[in-house]
Amino acid sequence: MVNSDYLKNLNEAQKQAVMSLEGPLLIVAGAGSGKTKVLTSRIAHIIKNKKAFPNQILAVTFTNKAAKEMEYRVSKILGSSATGLSWLGTFHSICAKLLRKHASAVNLNSNFTIIDTDDQIRLIKNICKAENIDIKQISPRFVIAIIDKWKNKGMYPNEVKINHKDIYEKTILPVYRIYQQKLTELNACDFGDLILHSVKILEKNIDIRQIYSKNFKYILVDEYQDTNFIQSKWLNLLAEKNKNICCVGDDDQSIYSWRGAEIKNFLDFDKIYENTKVIRLEQNYRSSKNILSVASELISNNQNRVGKTLKSTMTEGDLIKLNCFKNGKDEAVGVSDEIEKIKKKYSLNNIAILVRAIFQTREFEERFLKIGLPYRIVGGIKFYERSEIKDCVAYLRLIHQERDDLAFERIVNNPKRSIGESTIKTIHEYSKKNKTSLENSARKMVHENLIKPKAKLGLSLFLDLVSKWRNDLKIKKYNHVKLLQILLDESGYSAMLKNKKDLENENRLENIKELLSAMKEFDNLESFLDHVSLATSIDKDWEGEKINMMTMHAAKGLEFDIVFLPGWEEGLFPHQKSIEEKGHNGLEEERRLAYVGITRAKKNVIISFSMNRFYQGDWIDSMASRFIDELPENNLEKNSYFDENKDTFDEFEFNQDIELDDNSKRSPGWIRYQKRIK
């Protein structure tokens, strides 16, 4: 059934964006302004007015979900006339289609295989082994990340110019060269190749480029602020002939620079495409006026932006709550108390807690488990189910209980100690035959010389360490928190994570630091292990509605009635690393992340920070995030803690010149600030 009234459901700016069909168009679509509606209506308008056939329209998204949603909405407007949109899909799916047609141009057959991350890791491992590169020093995932970075910049191995400040690039470049050769030999490519090869084909073969450039009368791109260099170049080549390229996005929601996105593509659109028309979608259909006022005031502090003024169609709504707490534990209690008050009015599915870093979920998980509030971790794993946490707990379980075979099996070769599957199998057989634990079996087999020399050496060292740790605990040389720190160092586990340079391992280290903080809340090892057992089993039966917990990055594109934004403290948010690595640009991206967090909310936003936090098992003083100073006072409702501690709060203002006597008890953000003002 055809919907001929599709234009009547649009506001004036949306209608203009749909009907402006000639020449390059940049649609600056603010949060909740109906950009998907505009894109789909524009495709329908082109087809309905016979400006192009469906197969002459290129519509590009970042996710399969977005592509399917777009296709569904177009078909709702046009009915059967929407069939034939054969070039609607993700960057990767469309490039794969193009590449299969012209595979020979890059020395591939049309039936090439697209390898996944696991295949990539295996291939990189084999190459590193052959080239005598220690994967304990440079992890395969890190190698893949660097190769992806080069591919996103449009560079084959012979085009890479090494950054001499980066000690790893010199080692990785030869691996990249061999890796590409291997892929060609295997008649395969990775996801990065899909776009890189497509660009190279279009660049080097004018006849092929002209075919596609002429065919695509209209090009539409969703979430343009998230494009990287090679994606932008690919679009530029395809738009060469007709120039009817329409890109939709929001520069204020550009938060993915860490995976190659370049906000420059969005900001310089009118320089790339002459005679660009810019249309701003400023009518917000999601959030209350107060929420938009706070978000707009905050983001106005960024310099690198196109600029827009969002207007809400909703009521004023409640003031944004700004809560200060004594510590992180009190913050978790405060959030849970707030949820208890509102859960009768709002579904738990419509409540979200958005954090800057995934380790922050721990204190909330602990609290929710204690009081029976069901929750889910969106786009991640619950704290005590994360592999590094399970590894640490397994070490502690084995020290506590030598008959814990599951713990023994998990950590006996973690990190690697040359104890392979065959050795573990042999220990299992001995254990079964002699009806004794795996640890005891291993000790007897080492003593009786039943283990191969290399494995015996690794196993002996491991068993000696376990005995030492067990004795240290028995004589109370260390408490359970210090014991974990010691065993992580002595086992080589910490070194394993530190030496493998990639983002995943950095997150794992942060999670372990949070675990140390959690352990300090318990008097001894036994009570802590009991707590972990209960925490990992208590929520297995939870069904139905659940509170959503996720990072702000994972929340992009989602919306909720109520949004909690905890942990707004210097060093945590804006994140220390982001500012250290990217300076002013890093700060602006962190502010955009705050903007994304706030604009996920429809009804209420509750921002909070703590004056003290547990960090690596020690209390540290925190400072309120500088972003809090940028929020408009008239739109805020502060909790009683502000009044009760008025004198104290004068010290916590970001611009206050404070002399510190003990930096070890200060947050990274506080220390950084002191260095800046001296």
**DSSP for 73-97, written as a single string:** HHHHHHGGGGTT-TTEEEHHHHHHH
Q: What pLDDT score does 1 carry?
A: 45
Q: Which residues of 325-350 are buried (b: 16+ CB within 10 A; e: fewer)?
A: bebbbbbbbbbbebbeebeeebebeb
CA distances from 171 to 44, 128, 321 (A): 51, 10, 51
Q: What is the torsion angle, in degrees rounded to the nearest 10, for the CA atoms of residue 255, residue 258, residue 262 and residue 263?
A: 20
Backbone conformation region of residue 310, classed left if phi is above 0, alpha if psi is from -120 to 50, else beta: beta
Catalytic residue among 308, 546, 591, 600: 600
Q: Is 561 helix (H, G, I), strand (E, B) or coil?
A: strand
Q: Check: CB of residue 628 under 8 Å from CB of residue 322.
A: yes
Catalytic residue among 16, 36, 436, 485: 36
Residue 184 annotated among the catalytic residues of the structure: no
Q: What pLDDT score does 393 carry?
A: 93
Q: Check: CB of residue 110 under 8 Å from CB of residue 100.
A: yes
Q: Is 281 helix (H, G, I), strand (E, B) or coil?
A: strand
- 70 exposed, middle or buried (CB, 10 Å; 0-12, 13-18, 19+)? buried
Residue 600 annotated among the catalytic residues of the structure: yes
Shortest CA distance to 513 belongs to which of 647, 363, 614? 614
Q: What pLDDT score does 79 carry?
A: 80
Could you give phi then psi for residue 355, rounded to 5 degrees? -115, 160
Which residues in the chain show pLDDT less than 70? 1-4, 81-82, 500-503, 537-543, 615-618, 642-678
Catalytic residue among 253, 360, 361, 423: 253
Residue 523 annotated among the catalytic residues of the structure: no
For residue 442, the cross-strand partners are: none
Q: What pLDDT score does 542 carry?
A: 52
Distance CA 96, CA 198 (A): 8
Q: What pLDDT score does 442 carry?
A: 93
Catalytic residue among 223, 262, 330, 404: 223
Rg (CA), the chain: 28
Which uninterrupted H or E stretch holds 589? helix 576-598
Catalytic residue among 222, 262, 388, 391: 222
Cα angle 106-108-114, degrees, rounded to a multiple of 5: 110
pTM: 0.81
Residue 40 annotated among the catalytic residues of the structure: no
Per the structure block, which two tokens stand in for 425?
């199998």
Q: What pLDDT score does 657 carry?
A: 36
Shortest CA distance to 512 belongs to which of 636, 390, 365? 390
Residue 171 annotated among the catalytic residues of the structure: no
Residue 297 annotated among the catalytic residues of the structure: no
